[in-house]
């Protein structure tokens, strides 16, 4: 994700940021209130919404295992335990403000289960497990609990289908500023995309980045409306109805749930193939025809940037590529939705900003998408690397060297105690994006100075190819394995320290 330069509604807004990352706006969520993104109400008259669907109308039994939540220290109720999600088939109809349809989740149990937990904020109408009716209830707004008629054994593959319908606008997230919501609307147009959570607004999932899975999205909309999502565009008229189209998208590689997205509205599409790799670019028709052409021209640079990043990071990790520019006023400048990053239109159109924005989001295809987070306090693995690749490309295009950029950034921030008070390895859930865009690449350049060019280049390329959920500790282990240099002073200074690192060789400052 890239920090946002200001709102967009087809034009206007405040000036672009000229320095990297501003911290997130402070949340009004008070400490101790619980995770801010897991306490929505779904617009029903009850404060605590409980939805029961069962053949006998009987509530769910008390669960034997506390499997709600993936154990994330920042968002402890996000995701689930006890199973590994393998794939999601999302099948929806969008008409007006309402989403209606089903999601089929295929998973494998990692322990015996009598309840399957999913994250969803929309009202549920029915559920089955392996084709048999199941009891369901929704607790605390988004904790969907599905109880099969028979228990699920460890190692067993099982299929959960959830039918649901509702207005995602009814899924509120107390404590989150409105401009940070993953739900975006403008007139009849709809967008759902955001970080760290977005799936609860439109499909049930194990909503945690440690559990990537295959995604397939089928969305039925009135004819003349476009639907944009991730992966391959399989079909844009998969039905035989006169007044409706069904858009079918399919990702051929696993992804974290927040990397999936949904855009519904009027879009101008360009499709093709470059070097055997298919692409789809989409730009909202709410921009003027001239703006659409210019924005599509920027998106058309995607293959060139991917090819350049491959020289640093190794083979591109996905089958498709692309980009989308919706009409909405995002709080971010870009988001690394898998295979098809989302860009804020005014940021992409800004002189001198498009290149670094695209490099950042496309670098995320390796760092953040293929190599995803183990926990949300591992955010350095995403944003630190993507920001560093901006520095690498800037140097290659004739700008300052990566070391010069490190020194300039350090000198700009050295006397800012508030910046350094946020440790890189534990920024906290409310400050997760506050300093990583600057402190992350500085730490990486310091590491490069310490271990040398050859070792760092090998480390960067090898790490980029380690597909799966990875932690900062995993990265540190890999870094230590590449060198005999003692990395503890560097780690303490850049990751754990709460003051500006001293300018010493041990901390990675060159002579």
Do 368 and 382 touch, CB atoms closer than 8 A? yes
Catalytic residue among 343, 361, 438, 491: 361
Residue 267 annotated to the active site = no
Please tell me whether 360 is known to bind a ligand.
yes
Cα(505)–Cα(108) distance, integer angstroms: 49
* Residue 133 CB neighbour total at 10 angstroms: 15
Question: Strand, coil or helix: what is 12?
Answer: coil
Do 200 and 143 touch, CB atoms closer than 8 A? no
Q: Which residues contact 321 (CB under 8 A, 6 or more apart)?
A: 277, 278, 279, 302, 303, 306, 339, 340
The DSSP line for 305-338 is: HHHHHHHHH-S-S-S-EEEEE-SS--SEEEE--T
Eight-state DSSP code of residue 24: P
Catalytic residue among 83, 267, 279, 437: 437
Q: CA gyration radius for the chain?
A: 23
List, in sequence order, every residue forming a beta bridge with 220; answer none if it has no partner. Answer: 93, 246
* Residue 194 CB neighbour total at 10 angstroms: 26
Please tell me whether 29 is known to bind a ligand.
no
Q: Is 390 exposed, middle or buried (0-12, 13-18, 19+ CB in 10 A)?
A: buried
Residue 164 annotated to the active site = no
Do 88 and 213 touch, CB atoms closer than 8 A? yes
Cα(201)–Cα(427) distance, integer angstroms: 26
Q: Which residues contact 373 (CB under 8 A, 6 or more apart)?
A: 209, 210, 256, 379, 381, 382, 469, 470, 471
Element (H, E) at 438: helix 436-451
Task: Please state the residue numbers annotated as binding site.
Answer: 360, 364, 383
Task: Show which residues are catalytic.
Answer: 361, 437
Which residues does the annotation place in the binding site for Zn(2+)? 360, 364, 383
């Amino acid at each position: 994700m890239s920090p946002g330069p200001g709102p967009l509604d087809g034009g206007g807004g405040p000036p672009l940021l000229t320095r990297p990352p501003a911290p997130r706006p402070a949340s009004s969520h008070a400490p101790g209130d619980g995770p801010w993104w897991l306490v929505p109400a779904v617009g029903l008259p009850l404060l605590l919404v409980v939805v029961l669907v069962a053949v006998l109308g009987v509530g769910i039994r008390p669960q034997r295992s506390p499997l709600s939540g993936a154990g994330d220290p920042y968002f402890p109720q996000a995701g689930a335990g006890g199973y590994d999600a393998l794939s999601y088939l999302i099948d929806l109809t969008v008409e007006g403000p309402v989403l209606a349809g089903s999601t089929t989740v295929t998973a494998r149990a990692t322990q015996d289960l009598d309840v399957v937990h999913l994250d969803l904020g929309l009202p549920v109408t029915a559920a089955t497990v392996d084709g048999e009716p199941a009891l369901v209830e929704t607790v605390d707004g988004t904790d969907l609990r599905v109880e099969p008629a028979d228990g699920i054994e460890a190692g067993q593959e099982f299929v959960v289908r959830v039918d649901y319908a509702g207005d995602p606008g009814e899924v509120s997230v107390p404590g989150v500023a409105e401009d940070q919501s993953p739900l975006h609307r403008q007139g009849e147009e709809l967008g759902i995309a955001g970080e760290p959570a977005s799936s609860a607004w439109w499909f049930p999932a194990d909503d945690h980045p440690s559990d990537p899975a295959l995604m397939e999205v089928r969305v039925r909309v009135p004819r003349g409306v476009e639907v944009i999502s991730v992966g391959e565009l399989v079909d844009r008229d998969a039905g035989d109805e006169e007044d409706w189209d069904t858009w079918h998208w399919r990702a051929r590689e696993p992804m974290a749930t927040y990397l999936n997205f949904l855009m519904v509205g009027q879009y101008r599409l360009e499709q093709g193939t470059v070097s055997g790799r298919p692409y789809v670019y989409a730009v909202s028709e709410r921009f003027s025809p001239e703006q659409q052409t210019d924005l599509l021209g920027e998106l058309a640079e995607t293959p060139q940037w991917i090819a350049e990043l491959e020289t640093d990071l190794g083979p591109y990790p996905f089958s498709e590529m692309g980009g989308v520019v919706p009409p909405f006023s995002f709080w971010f400048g870009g988001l690394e939705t898998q295979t098809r990053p989302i860009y804020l239109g005014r940021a992409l159109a800004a002189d001198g900003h498009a290149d670094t924005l695209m490099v950042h989001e496309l670098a995320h295809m390796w760092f953040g998408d293929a190599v995803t987070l183990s926990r949300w306090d591992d955010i350095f693995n995403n944003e630190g690397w993507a920001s560093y690749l901006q520095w690498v490309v800037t140097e290659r295009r004739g700008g300052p060297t990566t070391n010069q950029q490190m020194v300039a950034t350090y000198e700009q921030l050295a006397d800012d105690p508030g910046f350094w008070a946020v440790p890189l390895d534990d920024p906290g859930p409310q400050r997760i994006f506050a300093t990583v865009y600057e402190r992350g690449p500085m730490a990486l350049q310091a590491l490069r100075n310490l271990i040398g060019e050859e070792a760092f280049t090998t480390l960067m390329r090898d790490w980029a190819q380690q597909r799966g959920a990875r932690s900062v500790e995993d990265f540190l282990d890999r870094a230590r394995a590449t060198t005999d240099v003692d990395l503890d002073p560097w780690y303490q200074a850049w990751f754990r320290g709460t003051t500006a690192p001293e300018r010493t060789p041990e901390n990675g400052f060159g002579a």
